[in-house]
Amino acid sequence: MLRKPRRMMSQINVVPYIDVMLVLLVIFMVTAPLINPGQVDLPSVGQNLAEPQQPIQVTLRLDGSLSVVDPLKGQGETPIARGQLVALLKASQASQPNQPVVIAADRNVRYEEVLRLMDLLKQADVKRIGLLARPRSS
């Protein structure tokens, strides 16, 4: 009795892959209702978005002097002492607590001085502090 030579299987058996996928599908279907979705507060139709507030700009010069540009007062750049800056910012934050403050430091000012100014702003209870950067000119 002669046997036929066995041929190689030319197809991949996908049944084990289908079994694994069905098990994963069942697991996801069971765990999906247990997950708490995050709360999303969507705006209503008639609600307007608030205008972004113009930041107060505090300029720190190389000689350590400070000046302030307050868009709410409409004045230009005003030189100010550090003690007066704290009082001005506390008054501003009392009327508008989310008023941002940006620091515009001279390029050659030491970073330590910028950090001291940031600490001063934190003492004045400023919640939104930013750094103003100007692009380099080519």
Per residue in 48-105, pLDDT tens? 667 777 888 999 998 988 999 887 777 778 888 888 888 888 888 888 888 899 999 9
Range picked from 2-11, 72-81, 112-121 for highest mean pLDDT: 112-121
DSSP 3-state percent helix, strand, coil across the chain (nearest 5): 35, 15, 50
Q: Domains of the chain by range and CATH?
A: 56-131 (3.30.420.270)
pTM of the model: 0.59
Average pLDDT (3-25) is 86
Long-range contacts of residues 1-5, Cβ cutoff 8 Å, at least 24 apart: none
Write the CA distances from 112 to 62, 64, 102, 105, 131, integer angstroms.
12, 11, 17, 11, 14
Distance from chain centroid for Cα 52: 15
Please name every residue paired with 130 in a beta bridge, in sequence order, or none if there are none: 102
